[in-house]
Amino acid sequence: MTPALGKSLRWIVTAVIVVFLIIFARTIHWSEAWSAIRSASLPLLALALGVNFLSLVFKGIRWWLFLKPAGSPSLPLALRATIAGAGLNNVLVANGGDAARVVFVTRTTGVSSATVLATLALERMFDPIGFVILLVYASMVFPLPPSIDTWRIPAQVALAVIALLLFWFLYSARNTAPEDVTGRHSSSTGWWERLKNYLAGFAVSARALASGPRFASALVLSMLAWWCQVLTFKYAGEAAHVSMSTGASVATLLAINLGLLIRATPGNVGFFQFVFAITAEQFGIDRNDAIAVSLLIQTLQIIPITLLGTALAPEFIFTRSRVRKEAEQLAGKSEPAMLGSLSEKGEELGGISRKS
């Protein structure tokens, strides 16, 4: 498929989704949904906002597990980059915020982009792994709608395959030392050679960062992040005075993530409400109430994180120049002392004079 054809197909799919959402929106009594939003409980909304932010913190810590041995030991840096990337993801199509995360950390720390990309790839793979585990768990514990329950067997098979692949990856990486993460530079000027070296550096970094304890910790953090999302859905429903059981919260979260494998709109606005309402109705929740809850959830997930993330983005952009300036100042201050030391050594060796 050519890039032009792929772009055209994406625009066609997006247009079809938008038309479908407009038709769906005409079936909603927006005045009733707005009334539910206006009467929402502020303390419960604050609680939902808190657990949603905590989910992002767990993801930042999860990334830090891989960044630390790669040469970026700062946990605050990992958290800030994660928040900035999440904020940009809400306004960019195709998860452009993730690419920004790589740029942020590379510019700030000087770690190669191939290594940072490897840490991000390892960190992000635990999102689908955690999702599959949540889906398997929910299918055994909660009554799920048929549209989700049909994924039970595929999810169980996928979980078994994932376990085997993780075991193979850890086994094959057992002889790769952590110091192999750094120091891969090529003097070649050809773009093909540079690309091959970049991909080789990515592979070596991924292998060197893989370990059983690190993977186990990342998996625990992933499940905590997913469960925070479940609580965000539940508390947002309770804030809107809509009875959202844990099963309904899990089911709507699963349905939304199954239906949003491809980001069709920035922030998934519109499609999120459609999937949430259709799934919530199967738990006896009125469509208008479901729309109100879904709007509250997206408000909590998008606006605060977007504002905070975009506010942090410029800080990362200018960090590199600030760090370089500080280094130059430090070098300037230390130069006289270094020259004085060389002069003393020169005198001891025979009166060698230092050039001015």
* HEC secondary structure over the chain: CCHHHHHHHHHHHHHHHHHHHHHHHCCCCHHHHHHHHHCCCHHHHHHHHHHHHHHHHHHHHHHHHHHCCCCCCCHHHHHHHHHHHHHHHCCCCCCHHHHHHHHHHHHHHCCCHHHHHHHHHHHHCHHHHHHHHHHHHHHHHCCCCHHHHCCHHHHHHHHHHHHHHHHHHHHHCCCCCHHHHCCCCCCCCCHHHHHHHHHHHHHHHHHHHCCHHHHHHHHHHHHHHHHHHHHHHHHHHHHCCCCCCHHHHHHHHHHHHHHCCCCCCHHHCCHHHHHHHHHHHCCCCCHHHHHHHHHHHHHHHHHHHHHHHHHHHHHHHHHHHHHHHHHHHHHHHHHHHHHHHHHHHHHHCCCCCCCC
CA distance 248 to 142: 9
Predicted confidence (pLDDT) per residue in 217-238, tens digit: 999 999 999 999 999 999 999 9
pLDDT of residue 203: 63
Per-chain mean pLDDT for the chain: 75
Q: Give domain limits for the chain.
A: 32-321
Q: CA-based Rg of the chain, rounded to a whole angstrom?
A: 25
pLDDT of residue 70: 85
The residue count for the chain: 356
Taking residues 53-77, report their average pLDDT. Answer: 93
Burial class (CB in 10 A: 0-12, 13-18, 19+), 309: buried
CA distance 57 to 79: 6
Taking residues 100-126, report their average pLDDT. Answer: 86
Higher-pLDDT residue of 97, 248: 248
Written as six digits, the tokens of 223 are 């499940």
Lowest mean pLDDT across 36-40, 86-90, 228-232: 36-40
Higher-pLDDT residue of 323, 204: 204
Decide if 90 contacts 316 (C-beta within 8 A).
no
132 Cβ contact list (under 8 Å, min separation 6): 155, 158, 159, 162
CA distance 108 to 67: 13
96-109 helix and 113-124 helix, angle to the nearest 10 degrees:
130
Share of the chain above pLDDT 90, in %: 29
Predicted confidence (pLDDT) per residue in 254-292, tens digit: 998 886 554 544 445 567 888 888 899 999 998 888 888
Predicted confidence (pLDDT) per residue in 127-162, tens digit: 999 999 999 999 999 988 888 888 899 999 999 999
Higher-pLDDT residue of 2, 30: 2
pLDDT at 210 over 70: yes
Lowest mean pLDDT across 75-84, 185-194, 296-305: 185-194
pLDDT of residue 246: 93
Spell 54-81 as b/e; 16+ CB within 10 A means b: bbbbbbbbbbbbbbbbbbbeeeebbbbb
Higher-pLDDT residue of 205, 132: 132
Decide if 300 contacts 52 (C-beta within 8 A).
yes
> Which of 201, 215, 224 lies closest to 165 in space, CA to CA?
215
pLDDT of residue 304: 85
Decide if 101 contacts 120 (C-beta within 8 A).
yes
CA distance 51 to 188: 48
Written as six digits, the tokens of 256 are 């939304």
pLDDT of residue 108: 85
